[in-house]
Amino acid sequence: MDFDRQTNIPLALVVAMSNNNVIGRGGDMPWHMSDDLKWFKKNTIGKPIVMGRKTFQSIGRALPDRDNIVVTRQSDFCHQGVTVASDLEDAIAIAEAFALHRKVQEICIIGGGEIYKQALPFASRIYLTEIDATIEGDVFFPTLNGNEWQREAKGIISKNNKNDYNARLSILTRKAD
């Protein structure tokens, strides 16, 4: 897939994955990680967020203080607080308009597996949570080519009563060609 961007506002994927690239199980996230939700909020607040219809249904509501854009092929899909897009290109064009209007310099792609796969070639940044465990699941993040990305360590999450696993927080930036 290829398409022309209307602006050069960067696209960032925001994802938490296990050592074996699992991101989902049974329509939900296979872990509880309170500190990861805080990191997610910090990195997405005020920005347009693009998600697949299944991820939206798993969250169950529009996330506050962000422009929520949901990608679906269902022409009759509608939900309070959500802008509906008919494909990823449409979603990014809508997100660009929101970003320009709000004067924000990033569009966040928040999943799930189908949407990450389609958006990865266009992403210049990844807010990455690496959960330090091998976990069973049915939705996966694509394998990243380590040579293409520069990693900046941003912290760790320690396993405790609010976080199921240890995890590492990083920002990956796509290296220049």
Ligand X SMILES: NC(=O)c1ccc[n+]([C@@H]2O[C@H](COP(=O)([O-])OP(=O)(O)OC[C@H]3O[C@@H](n4cnc5c(N)ncnc54)[C@H](OP(=O)(O)O)[C@@H]3O)[C@@H](O)[C@H]2O)c1
Can you give the binding site for ligand X, defined by CB under 6 A? 15-17, 23-24, 27-29, 51-55, 58, 71-74, 86-88, 110-115, 118, 139
Nearer to ligand X, 29 or 63 (CB): 29
CB-nearer residue toward ligand X: 26 or 81: 26
**Residue 12 carries which side chain, given as an amino acid letter?**
A
Lookup: tokens for 10:
């960067």
* Closest separation in Å from C-beta 177 to ligand X: 26
Nearest residue (CB) to ligand X, 20 versus 101? 20
Of 87 and 97, nearer to ligand X (C-beta) is 87
Beta carbon of residue 19, minimum distance to ligand X (angstroms, whole number)? 13
Produce one character per residue of 79-94: b if its CB has 16 or more CB atoms within 10 Å, e if not.
eeebbbbeebbebbbb
- In whole angstroms, the minimum distance from the beta carbon of 160 to ligand X comes to 19
3-state class of 35 per DSSP? Answer: helix
CB of 131 to ligand X, least distance (A): 8
Residues 6 and 116: their CA atoms lie apart, in Å, by 20
The rounded distance, in Å, linking the Cα atoms of 24 and 66 is 23
Q: How many beta carbons lie within 10 A of that of residue 150, not counting itself?
A: 12
